[in-house]
Structure 1
Amino acid sequence: MTSIPLAEELLLLAYDDQTGKATGSRIGLDLGMAAAVLIDLALAGRVAYVDGYLQVKDSSPIGDTIADAVLTKVAGDPPHTPAQWLQRLRHRLRTRVLEDLCARGVVKDVDETQLDYIHVHRYPTTDHAFEAEIRGRLTTALTTDAPPDERTAALATLLCAARMEPALKLPPEEAERAHQRLEAISAGAGFAGGANLEDSIVRPSVALVVLTLGKAISAALGTPKVANS
């Protein structure tokens, strides 16, 4: 199966297949998706983190409409930090991704009217193959000690940074172990600052982009609330 953009993978995980509604933190999802587009560009060798800023290293398109538009924007704008790019890109990104998924028949747009005039859109899944493949990769990554590939490692890190672990739909007794494994993957990839980038399971250039974007997401979301014991 042809891989789909990381932003689409995050969205499919976050939206309930049946109700078509987003679960978890909406701002976390939007920030995670903005980071995902930039990470796809880093995976393709188009952008890199240099001296505190994201910079274009190769301006040739990668063949994805949204990512290529972002690449053009990064190339044409003054330099911005990862945190600044997240805020600049997250607005309306989810709408554009949903439109693409609807156009390809992966989800459908259910337009409902409430109180006679309020339109509410739901996006239930119609083609489950993509999400099944995504969840299969994550299951392997979370239940084995084998190093995941770059994309899966990046996806796992985004789930953790954006606080989207509930999207994994795990029972409570498995959730804590999954969180620990997500953190281990992030650290092993050099995405959490806990490993020498030269020892990373992914390319150091990619690890550095994911590391800085992950930190920017965490800073934007603030300190998570801890329940009183």
Structure 2
Amino acid sequence: MVDDSPTDGTRLSLPEELLLLGWDDERGKNTGTANLLALLGGAAFLDLALRGAIDATGKHVEAREGDTGHPVLDGVLERIRTDRKSRDVKGWVGWYGQRNDLRDEVLDHLLAQGIVRREERKILGLIRLTRHPVTQRVRVEELRRRAGALLTSSEPLDDPRDAALGGLLEPAGGTLRARLVPRGQRRAAARRAKELAKGEGMSSEVADAIGEANAAAMAAITAAAAVSAASAGSSGGSN
């Protein structure tokens, strides 16, 4: 199949990048990302903050006027505007962390862009299996290379989106990071991701640009992951 990856350097949203970084090319789905649902929620709110589309500094998130032009992020903005309950970042990430909505919306947008394609087949004529192989392999491999470079560099990052992505790779877990860096660099990569998640390892300008939003997103992801783990443990214990 011809690879139709764009050559204009177009960058994906943070939720799209995170979903693709953990993509299993054989199984056609994400299998390598811990805390995926909460992580996507945190990534969406961090992305919106970087775009200036939300104000998350108060007791609840407020959507500013206008849209981003990105259908997934604009869908999040619409939920914020129409939701009857005012929520802070923690509340929203917790909400998304219990639902597949955002994951499905991100996948649909990847399909619409031709980055992945849908394949369906039946086993024994009864069980329907759906997988989504990557179509734009060059684009995805470049994303993985760039993410790996963020984790192995010792230089302060000077791009807010790179710093945000690098920090999100801390709660994304060691399985995902192991796919992005060589074995001998995995401990250093874990330390680097932790630094970025704490707002360190970046230039002062970048820290000023993402600091508050980054801290709120990381705290929200951690809280949502804890709730999810407790819920899973409770369910397991009742069986």
After superposition, give the CA deviation of every residue in 1:26-46 in whole Å (9 maximum; x if it has no partner).
6x1111111112111101111
Identify if the C-alpha distance between structure 1 residues 177 and 126 changes in structure 2 by more than 3 Å, giving closer, same or farther: same
Do residues 138 (structure 1) and 144 (structure 2) align?
no
Distance in 1 separating the partners of 2:59 and 2:82: 18
In structure 2, what is the Cα distance between the partners aligned to 1:114 and 1:216? Answer: 40
Q: Among 179, 190, 214, which residue is 2:190 paired with?
A: 179
Q: CA deviation at 1:10?
A: 0.6
Map 1:55-70 → 2, pairs under 5 A: 55-56=62-63, 58-70=64-76
In structure 2, distance between residues paired with 1:69 and 1:48: 16
Which moved further from structure 2: 4-13 or 46-55? 46-55
Q: Give 2:22's aligned residue.
A: 14
Contact 1:59–1:72 (8 Å) recurs in 2: no
- TM-superposed CA distance for 1:63, in Å, is 0.4
Contact 2:20/2:30 (8 A) holds in 1: no
Q: Which structure 1 residue ranges, 4+ long, deviate > 4 Å from structure 2?
A: none
| Structure 2: gaps (5+ residues) | 1-8, 230-239
TM-score, with structure 1 as normaliser: 0.82
Alpha-carbon RMSD across the aligned residues, in angstroms, is: 2.6
Alignment of 1:41-190 (within 5 A): 41-56=48-63, 58-77=64-83, 78-89=85-96, 90-148=99-157, 149-163=159-173, 165-169=175-179, 170-189=181-200
Name the residue aligned to 2:3: none
Answer whether contact 1:18 1:125 (CA < 8 A) is retained: no
Aligned to 2:207: 202
Name the counterpart of 1:34: 41
Q: Distance in 1 between matches of 2:21 and 2:164?
A: 14
CA 189–43 in structure 1, closer or farther in 2 if over 3 Å, else same: farther
Contact 1:188 1:200 in 2 (8 A): no
Maintained 8 Å contact 1:102/1:108: yes
**1:112 counterpart SS class:** strand
Identical amino acids, percent of aligned pairs: 30
For residues 203 and 61 of structure 1, the distance between their equivalents in structure 2, rounded to whole angstroms, comes to: 24
Instruction: Give the residue type in structure 1 aligned to 2:170.
Output: C
CA contact under 8 A between 1:160 and 1:179: conserved in structure 2?
yes
Query: What CA distance in whole angstroms lies between the structure 1 residues aligned with 2:167 and 2:106?
Result: 20
Structure-1 residue corresponding to 2:5: none
1:61 aligns to what SS in structure 2?
Answer: coil
Work out whether residues 31 and 162 of structure 1, in 8 Å CA contact, stay in contact via their aligned partners in 2: no
What secondary structure does 2:61 align onto?
Answer: strand
Instruction: Report what 2:221 is aligned to.
Output: 217
